[in-house]
Amino acid sequence: MAMTILLARLTPSWTVGAPRRGYIFVTLGYSYLAAAAGGYVTAWIAAASPLEHALVLGIVVLVLSAAAAMLSKGQYPTLYQLALVAIMPLGVLAGALLRLRVLGIL
């Protein structure tokens, strides 16, 4: 949320009217990074079964992002909403796998 507000202040022309291509790519990028950070931290906290906990987080993120996409139907391009629904759980998984690699499990 803070990144969206910061992005709107730094580039106000991106947030007027329909979302522009630059805005969409930037929000997809930082959403992926935030999801990856969440997956990494989840795997770090859940030392006993890090991948299982990250997969549960990925499912929760998938459900919540799909619900958010349905609630904001028509406000953003459909492809953007589908990309967010797909990218967020993949980011969680990537973060968890990175943590497992750091631990030497992978």
Q: For residues 14, 68, 26 and 6, what is the CA-based torsion angle, rounded to 10 degrees?
A: 60
C-alpha–C-alpha distance, residues 104 and 106, integer Å: 6
**20 phi-psi bin (left φ>0, alpha ψ -120 to 50, beta other):** beta
The separation between CA 37 and the C-alpha centre of its own chain, rounded to angstroms, equals 9
Parts of the chain with a pLDDT under 70: 1-8, 10-19
3-state SS assignment for residue 76: strand
Angle at 29 between CA 24 and CA 31, to 5 degrees: 95
Say which residues have a Cβ less than 8 Å from residue 40's Cβ, sequence separation at least 6. Answer: 95, 96, 98, 99
Taking the model in full, what pTM does it have?
0.80
The tens digit of pLDDT for each residue in 4-33 reads 666 667 666 655 666 678 878 888 999 999
- Please report the pLDDT score of residue 35 as a whole number: 95
